Amino acid sequence: MKARVVIVGSYVQDLAFYVEAFPGPGDCVLAELRPGAGGKGFNQAVAATRAGAPTLFVGAIGQDSAGAHAREFARRNGVQTEFILKKKEPTGAASIAVNHAGQNQIMVALGANLALHVRDLPVRPLAAADVVLCQAESDMKTAAHVLRVARRHGAVTVFNPAPMHPGVDLAILRHVEVLIPNEAEFVSLVNRSPRSGVKNFTVEALHRLAPDRLHTLCRSFNVPIVIVTLGARGCFVSQPDVYARVQAHEVDPVDTAGAGDAFVGGFAAGLVKFNKNIIEAVHFANAVAALAVTQHGTAPAMPTAREIARFLRRRDHA
């Protein structure tokens, strides 16, 4: 089946530690360990696949047990993959702490993900895809190349600048049609952009912004569509001539790790499902994220198309 969504990015083996409260400096606390498949790119690919969009994930893994687990998880869950084997690099790994409120703290060692190079990429799927998505958890020159090639072939190019770090060159935005940062990432982009006209911007300042002013800041990136995810407060969608605030669904979260990935992967699937209607895709993505945070883990927590449809039917009749 042709992949209508192609996601190039990271695979990471998650080691999730569930604790009552996060330890302070020098503290030691007891935890429950739950290992699992993860990585922003792979999480998003699982989310898009389970949401019903034919999706291909392209990423790098090491020749180790974590890499073998990646292949097995993809096979069991029907995720189309093109894993590039890097024999001299370990598979990426993440340490995730989750407290009783479902909040998380994450440390990532990217390993093989940083060795994914332009020469590793499959050309034909990129040229044929409807939607192509990258993040900032792999080599940024490779991500820029992917988005440039995809846009040249007419795909909707989506960039999720997560995790935000100094290696994210804002020049990549010239190849991006849809930019999806969270609050902290958006603040960093504003502070780094010479076009924004704003310095020392903060998340608190973001929360105080009037919608028209937030729209103006989004327009300063010269990206057609900017979607700022705001956690439990939903998201803000800025298009060239219009903006909208889309509310999140109220749920009781048990684990918010992977929520952003669920939204981004769900959005990519929504673009396919709703014929590139941005607002419909955002509503769909909100449902995917809401369901994901009610389950433990990242990739394993992504909901199926049937679960999403049932959830949205219940909300429509509430």
Is 130 within any annotated ligand binding site?
no
Query: Which H or E element spans position 15?
Result: strand 12-18
User: Is residue 212 a known part of a binding site?
Assistant: no
12 among annotated binding-site residues: yes
CA dihedral (29, 35, 40, 46) positive or negative? negative
Residues facing 37 on adjacent strands? 13
d(CA 253, CA 51): 20
Q: Is 297 annotated as a binding residue?
A: yes
Does 27 count as an annotated binding residue?
Answer: no
Is-catalytic flag, 212?
Answer: no
Per the annotation, does 230 bind a ligand? yes
Q: What is the 3-state secondary structure (H, E, C) of 18-79?
A: ECCCCCCCCCCCCCEEEEEEECHHHHHHHHHHHCCCCEEEEEEEECCHHHHHHHHHHHHCCC
Ordered DSSP codes for 171-238: GGGGG-SEE--BHHHHHHHHHH-TTS---S--HHHHHH--HHHHHHHHHTT--SEEEEE-GGG-EEEE
Question: Known binder of ligand: residue 24?
Answer: no
CA gap 131, 39 in Å, rounded: 19
Q: At what angle do helices 40-50 and 259-273 cross, to 10 degrees?
A: 40
Best CA proximity match to 269, nearest among 239, 294, 305: 305
Residue 270 marked ligand-binding: no
Q: Is 13 annotated as a binding residue?
A: yes
Q: Is 295 annotated as a binding residue?
A: yes
Query: Of these residues, 64, 120, 169, 261, which one is catalytic?
Result: 261
77 is in an annotated binding site: no
Asked whether residue 182 is marked as a ligand-binding residue, the answer is: yes
Residue 266 assigned as binding residue: no
What residue numbers does the annotated binding site for substrate cover? 12-14, 39-43, 137, 261
Write out the binding residues for ATP: 182, 229-234, 260-261, 286
Residue numbers belonging to the annotated binding site for K(+): 255, 257, 292, 295, 297
Active site residues: 261
Binding residues: 12-14, 39-43, 137, 182, 229-234, 255, 257, 260-261, 286, 292, 295, 297
